[in-house]
Amino acid sequence: MRNNRRSFILNFGIAALGMVLGRNADKTKPKFRARKGAGPIFISTWNHGIEANQVALEVLKKGGSGLDAVEKGVMVVESDPDNGSVGIGGMPDNKGNVALDACIMSSDGNCGAVCMLENIEHPISVARKVMEDTPHVLLAADGAFDFAISKGFKKRNLNTKNSKQAYKEWKKESRYKPIINVENHDTIGMLGMDDNGDIFGSCTTSGLAFKMRGRIGDSPIIGAGLFIDNEVGGAVATGLGESVIKVAGAAIIVELMRHGYSPEDACKEAVLRIQKNENTKDIQVGFLAINKAGDIGSYAIHPGFNYALTINDNTSLEDSDYLRN
């Protein structure tokens, strides 16, 4: 009798739960369909995204693929010697080496990445080669360098007068303080949607200025710094990589969108999860997201995070909403 009662309660409970979940699942079911004519759209972190987006759009207009667009777009920033956090002129690690991280992800779910890559101007292109020419996702350090050379990339010193000077200054005190601030967060992460509504992404950085040698951030980690699911959308991160990795930032945003969150709400929820983990007073993280319909969103911990938005042939710089001062 008791057992019957218990199994009745259990069965009733399961049925009720099923009804609740079923109802919610229906309610929040997103339309995983590109809005007609939504693309092309590009969104990129920070103001260097303006030029990157414009190049990406040109690539598409000239018949390039969405993948070509997100690769070539961020290459502009990698080649800019005045940008202190990406490619040439990126701030060195605590031993004076410019060590780069990058990843790329395609609408077909394929992806590639490199980390701690030195003396190569375009880590994003090496990441693409990893994706296309190897059975792997991520190559590191000397292995990534050797692979790049084998693919015809040229060795090149990435230090500039500015980066050497900045390192010399930092060396005087060598104070190891891997805290993100306005000067040292400049990763470029780009999300692109082509005319078919297919979504692509790229992310490239020299990481934290004067980081511990060997330290890898979120930017080359698929699911942390970047994630695309072409059925749902994509997300990209900038800021303190450790905090992003701890919440699987980009992947979680895409999953939240799958369950009906808007891009902005999904980015906000990822920020709130960081807030749950740690004191965010001195930590900056910013997320960008796009869903399959072509809606975009962003959210950051602190004010100051902006992003370039290219839509309907117009490019603008937008300020992100944020959690706290």
Active-site residues, by number, are 187
Q: To the nearest whole angstrom, how small is the minimum distance from the Cβ of residue 244 to ligand SD4?
A: 6
Q: Which is nearer to ligand SD4, 202 or 238 (CB)?
A: 238
- Which of 115, 124, 138, 208 binds ligand SD4 (CB under 6 A)? It is 208
Contacts of 95 (CB under 8 A, 6+ apart): 213
Q: To the nearest whole angstrom, how small is the minimum distance from the Cβ of residue 48 to ligand SD4?
A: 11
Name the strands in the sheet holding 296-300, side by side, starting at the edge strand that comes first in the sequence: 226-229, 233-239, 285-291, 296-300
Q: Which is nearer to ligand SD4, 4 or 279 (CB)?
A: 279
Structure tokens at 239: 């800021």
- Which of 72, 185, 268, 302 binds ligand SD4 (CB under 6 A)? It is 185
Q: To the nearest whole angstrom, how small is the minimum distance from the Cβ of residue 221 to ligand SD4?
A: 10
Q: Is 125 near ligand SD4 (CB under 6 A)?
A: no
- Which of 49, 66, 89, 217 binds ligand SD4 (CB under 6 A)? It is 217
**SS3 letters across 248-308:** CHHHHHHHHHHCCCCHHHHHHHHHHHHHHHCCCCCCCEEEEEEECCCCEEEEECCCCCEEE
Q: To the nearest whole angstrom, how small is the minimum distance from the Cβ of residue 233 to ligand SD4?
A: 20
- Which of 71, 186, 194, 198 binds ligand SD4 (CB under 6 A)? It is 186
Q: What torsion do the CA atoms of 98, 210, 43, 259 make, to the nearest 10 degrees?
A: 120
Q: Which is nearer to ligand SD4, 238 or 310 (CB)?
A: 238
Between residue 71 and residue 110, which ones bind ligand SD4 under the rule CB under 6 A? 85
Binding mask of the shown chain, residues 236 to 255, with x at each position contacting ligand SD4 by CB under 6 A:
--xxxx--------------
In angstroms and rounded to an integer, the radius of gyration of the C-alpha atoms of the chain is: 21
Q: Is 302 near ligand SD4 (CB under 6 A)?
A: no
Q: Which amino acid is present at 231? A: E
Place of tokens 């980015």: 267
Q: Is 230 near ligand SD4 (CB under 6 A)?
A: no
Contacts of 235 (CB under 8 A, 6+ apart): 191, 226, 227, 249, 250, 251, 253, 254, 257, 263, 266, 267, 270, 287, 288, 289, 290
d(CA 91, CA 95): 11
Q: To the nearest whole angstrom, how small is the minimum distance from the Cβ of residue 239 to ligand SD4?
A: 5
SS3 state at 11: helix
Q: Are 260 and 30 in contact (CB under 8 A)?
A: yes
Instruction: List residues near ligand SD4 by CB under 6 A.
Output: 85, 185-187, 205, 207-208, 217-219, 238-241
